[in-house]
Amino acid sequence: MAAVSPKMLKHQGPAKVYDSEHEAQAAMKRNEVVAGDVVVIRYEGPKGGPGMPEMLIPTATIAGMGLSESVALITDGRFSGATRGPCIGHVAPEAFDGGPIAAIKNSDKITIDIPNRILKVELTDKELKERLAQWKPRKPKISKGYLSRYSPTPSE
């Protein structure tokens, strides 16, 4: 909370949803992220990442674009102590496990109220259930080696 501008302690905006850090970075390079947006980077949690990669590049890019006082970021990935701005990480259950972050779509309205500890997507319970019923599990990005231990073995 200390690293967030008072202007961003409460924020509401449309979601810009990306299924990886790489996708989000490419979109930022194309200037698709604009003031008022809520960037959602999912499938970067412990299982989806796998290993929960650190989201320093997206947060630094948002700051470098001059948007740290007008764009929020939400992820199932993690942040380090170098993160600035309204960034919410470690969202669980993560998208890889079918958590609610997996149901968010572009343009969904997201409300962030840091002082009151509120994070919500403006969907009804019915809409959220319907979207999650349509969700399909993904195969792990990595199936061999050390990082494969974070993701479940794909079923065939």
Identity of residue 8: M
Residue among 5, 20, 70, 80 flagged as catalytic: 80
For strands 38-41 and 10-18, give the pairing.
parallel
Per-residue tokens: 74:
């939400």
To the query of whether residue 151 is one of the catalytic residues in this protein, the response is no
Contact criterion met (CB below 8 Å) for 68 and 44: no
d(CA 147, CA 18): 22
Q: Which residues are catalytic?
A: 80
